[in-house]
Amino acid sequence: MQNKFSRDIRADETAYYLSCPEVVARHIAKQLSIFRTCVELCCGVGMLSVQLAKVMNKVYAVDKDEKNIENARHNAKLYGVTDKIKFIAGDALDEKLLRNLEAEVAVLDPDWSGISEDKTNHVYGLDETEPSLRKLINLAKGHITEKIVARIPKTFVFETLKEFGPCRIENIFWGSRMRFKVAYFFPEIKENQEEDVYF
């Protein structure tokens, strides 16, 4: 299997496991390269944010774990995008914080194992991710932008997401099996679409 990252990133074991593989992060960033500004809620050690920063002018990256944010700052240096990312140690559900973030698109990446210690366990409900994907989407829509992208577990299907209207889902295959999905909620998407993407 290909290496997860091209640089020797800094992350604890859990954050490394939960991070988005570089090749997939690059793909997501390419899909969003029409935008100039982005917010990533639940940025972890920053592996999605650094790729978003490569194609945009400014990324606001929020995670509640201060150690992750510290490591994310280090990782942004490794990828040469320090100047383009503002890292914020804070709660992604904090409305006061969200109200002050201006961005054209919001990328949401909550923990799919919820409160479980076992990070390989993927939840089935919108409110079971940590934090709740339902809350994240509603808050991001209310305070930041209508254009939302979420990295979601493979246990989520169109039915799970139907209250947010139609979306495009990418089934992400990496290292010979399906790992997770990416859901794009853009106003111009009028019916559900699904595609397998292989890396």
Applying CB under 6 A, the residues found at the interface with ligand SAM are 15, 18-20, 42-48, 62-65, 68, 91-93, 109-111, 130-131
Mode of pairing for the β-strands spanning 85-89 and 105-108: unpaired
The CB-of-139 to ligand SAM minimum distance in angstroms stands at 11
> Considering the complex, what minimum distance in angstroms separates the CB of residue 54 from ligand SAM?
14
Is the CB of residue 56 less than 8 Å from the CB of residue 104? Answer: no
- The nearest distance, CB 188 to ligand SAM, in angstroms, is 25
Determine the residue with CB nearest ligand SAM. Answer: 44
Sequence-separated (6 or more) residues with CB below 8 Å from residue 185: 137, 146, 147, 148, 149, 150, 164, 165, 167
Query: Nearer to ligand SAM by C-beta: 25 or 169?
Result: 25
Q: Give me 22's structure tokens.
A: 């570089």
Shortest reach from residue 183's CB to ligand SAM, in Å: 14
Q: How far is CA 129 from CA 57, 90, 134, 142, 157, in A?
A: 30, 17, 9, 20, 14
Q: Which of residues 48 and 169 has its CB atom nearest to ligand SAM in the complex?
A: 48
Minimum Å gap between C-beta 95 and ligand SAM is 12
Looking at beta carbons only, is 113 or 145 nearer to ligand SAM? 113
Instruction: Look at residues 172, 149, 151, 145 and name the one whose alpha carbon lies nearest to residue 44.
Output: 151
DSSP 3-state of 96: helix
Measured in degrees and rounded to the nearest 5, phi and psi for residue 52 equal -60, -40
For the bound state, the minimum distance from the C-beta of residue 191 to ligand SAM, rounded and expressed in Å, comes to 28
Q: Of 37 and 192, which has the nearer Cβ to ligand SAM? A: 37
Answer whether 120's CB lies under 8 Å from 162's CB.
no
Residue closer to ligand SAM, measured from CB, 96 or 190: 96
The CA angle 55-60-62, to the nearest 5 degrees, is: 130
Q: Which two tokens stand for residue 142?
A: 């209310």
Nearer to ligand SAM, 42 or 76 (CB): 42
